[in-house]
Amino acid sequence: MLILSDGSQRGLEPKPGSVEVKWFNNYSGVIIKAPNVVFVIDPCGGVLDDFRDVDAVLITHEHYDHFDETIVKDIFSVTKCMVIADPTTYGSLVNVIPKEKLIKANIGDQIKIGGSQIYVVPSYHPAATTPVTYMIVCENGVTIYHTSDSLPFAEMADIGQKFKPDLAFCTIGIAPGASPRSGADIAKLVQPKVAVPYHGSRFIEFAEILANEAHQIRCVLLEINKPYRYP
């Protein structure tokens, strides 16, 4: 089933059992707003006003469309939030963010922010040095998988089986090898309740593949800066 987010939910606060997500650039920049915590993932681009109420910044890898040191520094200066970064970007930030506020995200780590749990899971993005992806289990149980630039790989089926995500962001372009087909393959491996294509523009193609090959997975197409509330 295809759902087009039309922005009618703009400004809504998440209810106790829900989470609001907003895609804010053409890449993998996502804001996740649960009832008691706000996460920003890969804050490249966007407007600082969007990042004034943040509990943690999560960075997946060092490429320019995922990591902007100046933006991370600006967000931190306003919010004093935690910064969680893959080992490569951690090295870039170690002299920028205070040690007690900076966490190195190694694959297999589990990080608690408020009542939410962040699991650092593998990424298959050969162009990056130490890429990671994040599985976020919010305090209310809503589980979101942010795949960054990852291509599909067999272990994703195990990740999906273990966490049973409600929502998965699936890369469909820009990154080497990524396409609507590879994004749809991620969704088919992970089996989320809702698949959201991002980091590209061929959304309809992605939705058509899912409709033909995995019709049990809902497909939601987001517009930049227009929030979507799950469920």
Residue type, 32: I
What residue segments make up the domains of the chain, in order of their start? 2-230
Residue 193: the pLDDT is: 98
CA dihedral sign, ordered 192, 121, 144, 30 = negative
For the chain, strand residue ranges (E) read 2-4, 19-23, 30-34, 37-41, 56-59, 82-85, 102-104, 110-113, 116-122, 132-137, 143-146, 167-171, 194-198, 218-221, 228-230
* Tens place of pLDDT per residue across the chain (231 aa): 444 443 433 444 666 789 999 999 999 999 999 989 999 999 998 667 778 899 999 999 999 999 999 999 999 999 999 999 999 999 999 999 999 999 999 999 999 999 999 999 999 999 999 999 999 999 999 999 999 999 999 999 999 999 999 999 999 999 999 999 999 999 999 999 999 999 999 999 999 999 999 999 999 999 999 999 999
Does 2-230 carry CATH code 3.30.70.330?
no
- Dist. CA 40–CA 55, nearest whole Å: 8
C-alpha–C-alpha distance, residues 226 and 8, integer Å: 8
Helix/strand/coil percentages in the chain, nearest 5: 25, 30, 45
Mean of pLDDT over the chain: 93
For Cα atoms 55, 59, 61, give the angle at the middle one, nearest 5 degrees: 175
Token pair listed for 39: 């996460």
pLDDT in tens, 115-141: 999 999 999 999 999 999 999 999 999
Closest CA relative to residue 136, chosen from 125, 124, 147, 128: 147
Residue 13's pLDDT is 63
Q: Around Cβ 140, how many Cβ atoms within 10 Å?
A: 16
